[in-house]
Amino acid sequence: MSGYARLRLLKPIQKAKLDMKHMLEIVLLLVLLNPFTSSATEVTDCFDKAYAHSDNGGLGLNRGQAIELCNGAKNATEVLVCYAIAWQHPDKNGLGLNRGQAIRLCKRATNTEEIVECFLKAWTHKDDGGMGLHLGGAVDLCKQSPME
């Protein structure tokens, strides 16, 4: 087989290798970017539900409150459930926090149950087996977001 004939046979193989290399690079890039995509989706899903009117199944927060609550959310459901429990009146099995305290406690929440248990222990009076912290101290101790 002549050199020219071999070269003609190798060109499609080389092109296929090049295409495979690019395909592999694209797949690798998509895998690496996936956490950022899902995080962005969690943040926007959280905002949509937090900002939506309560008649439409949302929390009814104003735009600034919804942004503050959902900024950096890794799990929209945990953030929203945590907020709903934190803001709910104690007579309805909530913590009875005001909006600002509930947002501080629940932004970036990843485990609502852990946050609520921590808060209840921290805020409960020492005579009742708790830590006896004031409300703000209990929020700061139990929130999962970094201190600002």
* 86, 101 contact by CB (below 8 A): yes
CA–CA separation, 124 and 112 (whole Å): 18
**Would you say residue 2 has pLDDT above 70?**
no
Residue range 15-28: average pLDDT? 49
Q: Per-residue confidence at 3, pLDDT binned at 50, 70, 90?
A: very low
CA dist., res. 102 & res. 114, Å (int): 15
Cβ atoms of residues 54 and 88 within 8 Å: no
Rounded to an integer, what distance in angstroms lies between the CA atom of residue 67 and that of residue 145?
A: 14
pTM metric for this prediction: 0.72
Contact predicate 97/59, CB 8 Å: no
Q: Are 68 and 46 in contact (CB under 8 A)?
A: no
